[in-house]
């Protein structure tokens, strides 16, 4: 009975199946296939490499610490973004004069290219010519500009800050959309029952926001996990791998080492990682759970 139903549905879901196969399944399979090929540094296929590319990848001594950085990067960026955006969305949901202008202003970092935004931060923090450093020197806090972007740990923290900055607009708008779909009566009922502002937010608003936050979180996880430009611009010239994620390591494998086959193996690992991260998130947080269920 069930099988018959599936078959009958084919004509209706067929086009989307074809689309998924063409733009998701085929590239993914091709990527896996590429990772098992022996490629020259200019991309000529020299035949099968078996698992040699993966062996080369796991021989990279820093891979373990790069994986740890990746987790710190994703968790920090997503969590800070969510907390700040939730507050910002709450504020933008209030009615105040000039609200439209403020809402538009929040969109600006999103409209600008990430490379551009990051480059502005990079120059602001430059030890010699950056205005942020200049300010710190002028008010007497520093004697000479500090290399915020010149040492692995500070630069990594700066990159997290920039990533949060560029992720906030989308997240804020998603949560704002969620807030606006909540009927005002619910909060009013809470007020009548004598709940404090925090209690109303925690027990009435937040559960209603679950779907919006779930969407924002998943998209932010994917975005920050795959983000290359921010780390590339800010930490790209720092030697060593102390501020690399798996994505920037892949870029270094292609650009600096000319090892596109090892990079292919890295991208397969990256693909598996993101699937695992999302699976854990879905399993633990259950974002699709019914609100009232």
Binding residues (CB under 8 A) for other proteins: these are 40-44, 61, 127-128, 144, 147, 149-152, 155, 236-242, 252, 256-260
Provide the minimum distance between the beta carbon of 17 and other proteins in the complex, in angstroms, as a whole number.
Answer: 19
- Choose between 62 and 188: whose C-beta lies nearer to other proteins: 62
CB nearer other proteins, residue 144 or residue 286 = 144
Report how far residue 256's alpha carbon sits from residue 171's, in angstroms, rounded to the nearest whole number.
34
Query: Is 113:197 a contact under the CB 8 Å cutoff?
Result: no
C-alpha radius of gyration, the chain, whole number: 23
Instruction: Give the side-chain half-sphere CA count within 13 A for 58.
Output: 6
User: In this structure, what token pair is assigned to residue 3?
Assistant: 């099988």
Scanning 112-205, the segments in alpha helix (DSSP H) are: 114-124, 131-138, 152-180, 184-192, 197-200
What are the φ/ψ torsions at residue 60 (nearest 5 degrees)? -70, 115
Smallest distance from other proteins to CB 40, Å: 6
Between 9 and 272, name the residue whose CB sits nearer to other proteins: 9
Cα–Cα dist 169/173, whole Å: 6
Q: Which CB sits closer to other proteins, 3 or 61? A: 61
Shortest spacing between CB 7 and other proteins, in angstroms: 19
Q: Are 190 and 183 in contact (CB under 8 A)?
A: no
Write down the least CB distance from residue 238 to other proteins, Å: 4
DSSP-assigned letter for residue 238: S
Q: Which is nearer to other proteins, 114 or 277 (CB)?
A: 114
Pairing of strands 45-48, 37-39: antiparallel
> CB-wise, 40 or 180, nearer to other proteins?
40
Tokens 């990051």 — which residue?
118
Smallest separation (angstroms) from other proteins to the CB of 257: 4
- In the complex, the smallest distance separating the C-beta of residue 239 from other proteins, rounded to whole angstroms, is 2
């Amino acid at each position: 009975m069930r099988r018959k139903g599936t078959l009958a549905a084919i004509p209706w879901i067929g086009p989307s199946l074809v689309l998924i196969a063409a733009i998701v399944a085929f590239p993914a399979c091709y990527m896996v296939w590429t990772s098992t090929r022996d490629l020259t540094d200019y991309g000529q296929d020299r035949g099968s490499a078996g698992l040699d590319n993966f062996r080369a990848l796991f021989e990279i001594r820093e891979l373990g610490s790069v994986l740890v950085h990746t987790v710190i990067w994703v968790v920090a960026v997503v969590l800070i973004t969510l907390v700040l955006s939730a507050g910002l969305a709450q504020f933008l949901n209030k009615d105040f004069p000039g609200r439209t202008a403020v809402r538009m202003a929040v969109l600006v970092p999103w409209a600008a290219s990430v490379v551009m935004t990051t480059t502005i931060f990079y120059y602001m923090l430059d030890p010699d010519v950056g205005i942020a450093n200049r300010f710190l020197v002028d008010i007497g806090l520093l004697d000479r500009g500090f290399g915020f972007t010149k040492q692995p740990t500070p630069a990594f923290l700066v990159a997290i800050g920039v990533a949060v900055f560029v992720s906030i607009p989308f997240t804020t708008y998603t949560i704002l959309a969620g807030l606006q779909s909540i009927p005002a009566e619910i909060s009013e009922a809470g007020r009548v029952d004598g709940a404090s502002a925090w209690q109303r937010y925690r027990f009435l608003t937040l559960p209603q926001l679950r779907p919006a936050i779930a969407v924002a979180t998943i998209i932010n996880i994917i975005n920050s996990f795959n983000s290359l430009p921010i780390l590339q611009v800010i930490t790209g010239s720092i030697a060593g791998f102390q501020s690399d994620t798996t994505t920037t390591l892949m870029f270094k494998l292609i650009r600096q080492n000319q090892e596109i086959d090892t990079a292919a193996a890295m991208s397969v690992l990256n693909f598996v990682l993101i699937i695992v991260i999302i699976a854990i998130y879905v399993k633990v947080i259950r974002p699709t759970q019914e609100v009232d269920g």
